[in-house]
Amino acid sequence: MLKLHEILGTDKPVFKKKDAEHFFYEELLALNEKPSQYKITGYVEVRKHKQLFFKQVYS
């Protein structure tokens, strides 16, 4: 997971929640998909221990 300063300046959108056509890296691996065939399309907000993080989503 990434912190805000790690995604600042990117042209990728930030989503409040993951859409149906988005996958996390771990999900692609579990589905036996090749992550290299997908591209990062944005980031999803994840709150953990009262801190805000961002996780990459692929499509």
DSSP character string of 11-48: SS-EESS--TT-B-HHHHHHTT--GGGS-EEEEEEEEE
Domain ranges across the chain: 4-58
How far apart CA 47 and CA 34 sit, in angstroms, is 27
pTM of the model: 0.86
Q: Return the pLDDT at 59.
A: 95
DSSP 8-state code for residue 2: B
Q: pLDDT tens for residues 2-59?
A: 999 999 999 999 999 999 999 999 999 999 999 999 999 999 999 999 999 999 999 9
pLDDT value for 55:
97
